[in-house]
Amino acid sequence: MSSRTLAALLAAILLLAGPARAQLTIEIIGGGANQIPIAVLPFAGESMLPQSITEIIEQDLSRSGRFRAIFVGGVNTPPTEIAQVDFPEWKSRLADAMVIGQAQRLPDGKLEVRFRLLDVLKQSQIGGIAFTFTAAQTRLTAHKIADFIYEKMTGERGVFSTRIAYIVKQGPRYELRVADADGQNAQSILISSEPIMSPAWAPDGARMAYVSFQNKKPILFVQSLSASKQPAPVANYRGSNSAPAWSPDGKQLAAVLTKDGTSQIYLMSPDGGNLRRLTVSQAIDTEPFFTPDGQSIYFTSDRGGSPQIYRMPASGGEPVRMTFEGDYNVSPRVSPDGKILAYISRVNGRFQLMAMDLESKQIQTLTDGLRDESPSFAPNGRIILYATDIDDRGVLAAVSSDGRFRQRLGIQAADVREPSWGPFLGN
């Protein structure tokens, strides 16, 4: 290694150790197949923006595992129009696609960015749009451009502009945080000296259900993300109140209460009203999760002697057992297209993320961790976020639902756990 490379590497490490302390940092493990080589050129005039838009776009695309960023150094004047593009040059750099654009300040003080996504081989424009935004929306705008590029190139909706929620434990302090899907721009929704668990996004992306132990027992809350303080509980019955799950239309909340004995699943309005019991067993019934069509609920039950996953009609009725391999299968989550069941299975003492194809019932092991838990699908179903630990510290990790591509997101000196991936914006 040359001294120059070493110096650059050290500089990079120092950068990570500095201001990133409170942010999630991302480490990509493994690579995906058939990555699209793309050149994201600097946008003319973007140096006046608070952050480099093209850097964020490039990072988003690379992190998805579907793209490979092409080196864009050595370009003197970044092209802004298709006529200015030296296509043979980019073809020789092995780019299939490229992004050009420009940023400017509008007379009213707002910012504008125009960009074009180009097909290098056909020397033609695939698409392009303009965004008007405020300085505070720079990151979001970059994520939206990355979403546009992702969708044009893969045919699937991008999730870069979506948000994630997770719990951070730092010493005696628990925090419910919401951040951009890349872990940046984190905001605290709730800070407590008692545990917080099971955050669940409402389908409208504006509210969050969670469990708080501030009264020395699990109590269920639904909080608006714009609220400045914790609202009144939606379920605070005798015993424990936990495991919230939203119906896809956002009109119902499934949760687990113990007011009538063992842990049973109940349905209620998001304000806690109209309570009715859904499961009737002497067993543990917990971890409800609605199917995307709202017709069924998956849940964990030990009614057969060990915790296994079952499915039942959301209106009540006879459950059907879904898992048969192993003696500990928990935490069911159904993919947004309803085709995959992700869950955690104990295999030889290790807790691993599994994916079951619901049609063929084929099971794939997606992770090889020791304590993997709390899976959460990205709204496009492409990635599953989950909690794992490295060197005794909780971190978040993501795996593509085909198991090929993995990455880790961690915060130094803190435990990060229980990720919940929010819905698409504008849904």
Partner 1 sequence: MKKALFSALTVALLYGCASTPVETEKPAAPGAEPAQGLPVSPPLAAPGQPAAQIDLSKRSVFYDYDKYDIKDEYRPVLQAHGKYLAENRGKKMLIQGNCDERGSREYNIALGQRRAEGVRRMLVLMGATEKQVEPVSLGEEKPRCSDHSEGCWSQNRRSDMLYSGEY
In the complex, the residues that contact partner 1 under the rule CB under 8 A are 195, 197-198, 211, 213, 216-218, 238-240, 242-243, 256, 258, 261-263, 284, 286-287, 300, 307, 328, 330-331, 344, 346, 351, 371, 373-374, 392, 418
Residue 395 C-beta: closest distance to partner 1, Å:
15
Pick between residue 95 and residue 278 the one whose CB is nearest to partner 1: 278
Residue 355 C-beta: closest distance to partner 1, Å:
17
Q: Which residue, among 403, 377, 399, 375, has the nearest Cα to 387 in the 3D structure?
A: 375
Pick between residue 173 and residue 238 the one whose CB is nearest to partner 1: 238
Residue 364 C-beta: closest distance to partner 1, Å:
20
The 8-class DSSP code of residue 360 comes to T
Residue 114 C-beta: closest distance to partner 1, Å:
46
- Angstrom distance (rounded) from CA 70 to CA 197: 41
Q: Which residue, among 80, 77, 127, 76, has the nearest Cα to 100 in the 3D structure?
A: 80
Residues 6+ away with beta carbon under 8 Å from 219: 211, 212, 213, 233, 235, 236, 241
**Is residue 19 classed as helix, strand or coil in its secondary structure?**
helix
Residue 373 C-beta: closest distance to partner 1, Å:
6
- Angstrom distance (rounded) from CA 195 to CA 211: 8
**CA dihedral of residues 263, 243, 331, 352 (deg, nearest 10):** -110
Residue 399 C-beta: closest distance to partner 1, Å:
18
Amino acid letter, 79: P
- Strand 383-390 versus strand 373-377 pairing type: antiparallel
Residue 247 C-beta: closest distance to partner 1, Å:
18
Pick between residue 300 and residue 367 the one whose CB is nearest to partner 1: 300
The DSSP secondary structure of 225-249, one letter per residue, reads TT-SS----SB--SS-EEEEEE-TT
Pick between residue 70 and residue 330 the one whose CB is nearest to partner 1: 330
Pick between residue 175 and residue 373 the one whose CB is nearest to partner 1: 373
Pick between residue 137 and residue 214 the one whose CB is nearest to partner 1: 214
| Cβ atoms of residues 372 and 353 within 8 Å | yes
**Is residue 91 classed as helix, strand or coil in its secondary structure?**
helix
Residue 334 C-beta: closest distance to partner 1, Å:
16
- Angstrom distance (rounded) from CA 117 to CA 402: 27
The DSSP secondary structure of 286-339, one letter per residue, reads EEEEE-TTSSEEEEEE-TTSS-EEEEEETT----EE---SSS-EEEEEE-TTS-
Pick between residue 21 and residue 371 the one whose CB is nearest to partner 1: 371
**Is residue 376 classed as helix, strand or coil in its secondary structure?**
strand
From the CA atom positions of the chain, what is the Rg in Å? 23
Residue 341 C-beta: closest distance to partner 1, Å:
15
**Is residue 52 classed as helix, strand or coil in its secondary structure?**
coil
Residue 418 C-beta: closest distance to partner 1, Å:
7
Pick between residue 103 and residue 309 the one whose CB is nearest to partner 1: 309
Pick between residue 44 and residue 197 the one whose CB is nearest to partner 1: 197
The 8-class DSSP code of residue 424 comes to P
Pick between residue 116 and residue 333 the one whose CB is nearest to partner 1: 333
